[in-house]
């Protein structure tokens, strides 16, 4: 059973919002599209009968969580997930840091899992406080000269102790083809730096400390074979990069961090079951899509703001930005996604959002229960700040007041809102959240008449960049 809850009431208004009848009018269409996604797409997948409008059909992400768990249950260590666990549970004794090299969907999901589920200062904790799990850094997502150089230097300095493991690091390089220039160039640099750091042991150790996640063929696959990597994990066929977070692309980094990957996948399975069986009125995915789609089509809300009310979900918001923009931003259609982190961004963006161009809907992402004990404001003999009157209130109390106050202010100026509530921020909830947003993106794409798979505009920039390099 899913634990997420969706409340669209802040978008129901006769002037600036929609109404229940509007939402209900989409029931038949969305039910038909649900059947198409769950039944027709799966029957067409991998066949020679895919109609042109559905090509490419990278729909395997939908049943991948069940497929992965079933394979693990059947074959354990021989399965992809079992091999991931074997590497993750053994390599932490040999290293103290991991650099994850990838761009777009090849790193954004993994980074968002880390930020959502790990201590915010994980990389600054001692090795003991991390349970010997590695520090984790992300590169290969840009061609920033100084950032690349700084991380190479940081990895060379090792950890905070003097053991051999704390002087070593590993590389996880993620690219389906190996042909994306940002990641390929980074891998060349970081591979050379890793070999330098290992000295005379490089030949024997590098094949274990370089862990590729790639396709079954291509430049990175060939390079990994040339290096003699002990393990090569897969970006599954039929799963596009931005839909790959619940494959080894996201699960390998999560497992290296010691996170509960089984629960992550079980959360996705729970969302699949909910989407498949829940009625339109109770279906979280369909209600989310219906409300947001109607606001964009009927009320001109062309900017979709994901307001996350915890810093831990900022990278999730950026992952979603890529997912929605790259999937449905085609043929002159699709909304513009935007992530804000509150209350931080209330002091930078909110004035324009509340009283600027009225083209936005605000989807609040709210964590209900915190992992740490609530911190009270506290009483002080230095009351120049005038806070003693709320000394017994806690930071969660202040956050709740800010959420309600912001929603009320937005409504007063004719801005619609919705609330997506996460009871507890853990891997089970994150599995639900990833799968919900991926299904919602596909469902809305089909509602718009767009193929949500493929990214022709991205391929054009790559071709232009290579041409400008004289290639």
Residue 66, number of CB atoms within 10 A of its CB: 15
217 φ, ψ to 5°?
Answer: -155, 170
pLDDT, tens digit, 9 for 90 and up, residues 76-98: 989 999 999 999 999 999 999 99
For residue 354 the two structure tokens come to: 């509340």
Residue 348, number of CB atoms within 10 A of its CB: 11
pLDDT, tens digit, 9 for 90 and up, residues 18-31: 999 999 999 999 99
If we measure between CA atoms, which residue out of 430, 439, 415 comes closest to residue 310? 430
pLDDT at 471: 83
pLDDT at 148: 97
d(C-alpha 259, C-alpha 174), whole Å: 19
d(C-alpha 94, C-alpha 115), whole Å: 24
pLDDT, tens digit, 9 for 90 and up, residues 252-295: 999 999 999 999 999 999 999 999 999 999 999 999 999 999 99
Active site residue 462: yes
Least confident of 11-15, 176-180, 394-398: 176-180
Residue identified by tokens 């498949």 is 276
- Active-site pick, 15, 49, 162, 347: 347
203 φ, ψ to 5°?
Answer: -60, -35
* Strand 97-101 relative to strand 135-139, pairing: parallel
Active site residue 326: yes
- Active-site pick, 326, 350, 360, 444: 326
Residue 458 scores a pLDDT above 80: no
Number of helices (H), then strands (E), in the chain? 18, 10
Q: Angle at the Cα of 4 (from 250 to 278), degrees rounded to 5?
A: 105
Categorize the per-residue pLDDT at 465 as very low, low, confident or very high, splitting at 50, 70 and 90: confident
The DSSP letter of residue 47 is S
pLDDT at 463: 84
pLDDT, tens digit, 9 for 90 and up, residues 105-134: 999 999 999 999 999 999 999 999 999 999
Categorize the per-residue pLDDT at 46 as very low, low, confident or very high, splitting at 50, 70 and 90: confident
d(C-alpha 155, C-alpha 291), whole Å: 47
Q: Which domains does the chain have, with CATH numbers?
A: 5-56+267-453 (3.40.50.10490), 61-259 (3.40.50.10490)
d(C-alpha 407, C-alpha 308), whole Å: 13
- What is the rounded average pLDDT of the residues 357-363? 98
- Active-site pick, 54, 122, 189, 462: 462
Beta-bridge partner residues of 212: 173
């Amino acid at each position: 059973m899913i634990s997420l809850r969706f409340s669209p009431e802040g978008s129901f208004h006769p002037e600036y919002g929609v109404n229940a009848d509007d939402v209900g009018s989409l029931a038949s269409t969305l039910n038909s599209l649900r059947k198409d996604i769950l039944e027709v797409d799966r029957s067409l997948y991998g066949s020679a009968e895919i109609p042109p409008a559905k090509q490419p059909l990278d729909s395997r992400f939908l049943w991948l969580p069940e497929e992965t768990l079933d394979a693990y249950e059947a074959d354990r260590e021989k399965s992809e997930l079992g091999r991931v666990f074997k590497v993750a549970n053994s390599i932490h004794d040999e290293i103290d840091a991991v650099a994850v090299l990838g761009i777009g969907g090849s790193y954004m999901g993994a980074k968002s899992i880390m930020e959502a589920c790990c201590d915010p200062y994980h990389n600054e904790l001692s090795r003991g406080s991390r349970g010997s799990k590695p520090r984790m850094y992300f590169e290969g997502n840009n061609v920033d000269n100084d950032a690349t150089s700084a991380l190479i230097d940081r990895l060379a300095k090792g950890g905070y102790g003097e053991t051999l493991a704390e002087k070593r690091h590993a590389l996880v390089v993620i690219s389906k083809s190996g042909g994306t220039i940002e990641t390929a160039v980074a891998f060349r640099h970081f591979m050379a730096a890793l070999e330098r750091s290992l000295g005379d042991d490089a030949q024997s150790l590098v094949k274990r400390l370089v862990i590729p996640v790639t396709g079954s063929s291509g430049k990175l696959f060939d390079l990994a074979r040339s290096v003699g990597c002990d393990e090569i994990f897969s970006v599954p066929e039929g799963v596009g990069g931005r839909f790959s977070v619940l494959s080894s692309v996201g699960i390998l980094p999560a497992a290296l961090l010691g996170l509960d990957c089984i629960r992550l996948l079980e959360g996705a399975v729970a969302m699949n079951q909910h989407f498949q069986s829940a009625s339109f009125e109770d279906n979280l995915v369909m209600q989310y899509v219906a409300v947001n789609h109607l606001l964009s089509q009927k009320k001109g809300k062309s900017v979709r703001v994901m307001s996350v009310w915890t810093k831990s979900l900022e990278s999730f918001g950026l992952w979603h930005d890529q997912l929605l923009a790259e999937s449905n931003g085609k043929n002159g259609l699709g909304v513009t996604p935007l992530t804000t982190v509150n209350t931080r961004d209330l002091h930078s963006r909110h004035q324009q959002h509340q009283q600027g161009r009225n083209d936005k809907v605000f989807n609040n992402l709210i964590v209900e229960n915190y992992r740490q004990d609530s911190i009270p404001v506290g009483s002080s003999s230095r009351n120049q700040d005038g806070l003693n009157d709320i000394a017994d209130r806690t930071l969660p109390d202040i956050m709740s007041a800010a959420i309600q106050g912001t929603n009320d202010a937005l409504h007063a100026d004719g801005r619609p809102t919705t609330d997506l509530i996460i009871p507890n921020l853990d891997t089970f909830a994150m599995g639900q959240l990833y799968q919900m947003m991926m299904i919602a993106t596909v469902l809305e794409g089909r509602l718009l008449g767009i193929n949500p798979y493929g990214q022709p505009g991205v391929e054009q920039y790559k071709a232009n960049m290579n041409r400008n390099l004289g290639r």
